[in-house]
Chain A
Amino acid sequence: DIQMTQSPSTLSASVGDRVTITCRASQSIGTWLAWYQQKPGKAPRLLIYQASSLESGVPSRFSGSGSGTEFTLTISSLQPDDFATYYCQDYTRFYTFGQGTKLEIK
């Protein structure tokens, strides 16, 4: 099975900061990579699909990049609503999630 490794596990940042989260796949997955945001007690929300495509309704401050085994999610200017946990997911055959990155207020 493919392993997905996110870094960092926890990220402390302030409103207005630019932040980047990295996701590495144990083998090449092309661009079959999605990013989700999850808030406590809520279902995940799709942000980015096919590594860099912005889901409808998601603010443009979110962006994704990468291919093969290395991917990034960038939030260009953090807003109060962005403090949450973020997950990457491979959706080739195994649909494996990364372990999550908790974005906290500094």
Chain B
Amino acid sequence: EVQLVESGGGLVKPGGSLRLSCAASGFTFNTAWMRWARQAPGKGLEWVGLIRSKIDGESSNYAAPVRGRFTISRDDSQNMMYLQMNSLRTEDTAVYYCTTDGGGRHGELAHWGQGTLVTVSP
């Protein structure tokens, strides 16, 4: 069974930094493209970014609102993905989800974690 468990959320002041983690199990992590999505309170889903597998170059892409401030990385030896968030703004307040197609698919997000809440407030 695929499991994705996020951690690291919390309260941070504007301009601050936070690192989220996603622990993955139940699939071949090192071949899967991994993604982050978020959902502000009472709002819709928003894609944050993705990181490709090592064999596909381990490159990453980001949504415009977070580009240059957020960085996604992965540690295939630990089946972990990370989201480093810098220069946080109040509008970054959201539940952050780790998500993946599980590998061998085309990008449809079949698996999601339970989410971790990030609150950016003075």
The chain A residues found within 8 Å of chain B, CB to CB, are: 1, 32, 34, 36, 38, 43-46, 49-50, 55, 87, 89, 91, 93-100
Contacts and interface: CB of A to CB of B under 8 A. Distances in A.
A89 B112 CA distance: 15
Contacts of B105: 49
B95 to A, nearest CB: 9
A96 B47 contact: yes
- The binding surface of chain B is classed by DSSP as loop
B35 interface: yes
A44 B108 contact: no
A44 B112 contact: yes
Nearest to A94: B47
A29 B64 CA distance: 19
B108 A87 contact: no
Given A43-B97, A43-B114, A95-B50, A34 B44 contact: no
Given A44-B45, A97-B44, A100-B44, A50 B115 contact: no
B109 interface: yes
A46 B109 CA distance: 7
* The 9 nearest A-B residue pairs measured at CB: A49-B108, A43-B112, A91-B107, A95-B47, A100-B44, A97-B45, A34-B108, A46-B110, A99-B44
Interface residues of B, number: 21
Interface of B: 35, 37, 44-47, 50, 61, 63-64, 97, 105-110, 112-115
A1 B64 CA distance: 9
A99 B39 CA distance: 11
Nearest to A93: B61
Contacts of B63: 94
Given A50-B106, A89-B109, A93-B61, 14 more contacts: A36-B45, A43-B112, A46-B109, A49-B106, A49-B108, A49-B110, A55-B110, A87-B44, A91-B107, A95-B47, A95-B50, A97-B44, A97-B47, A100-B44
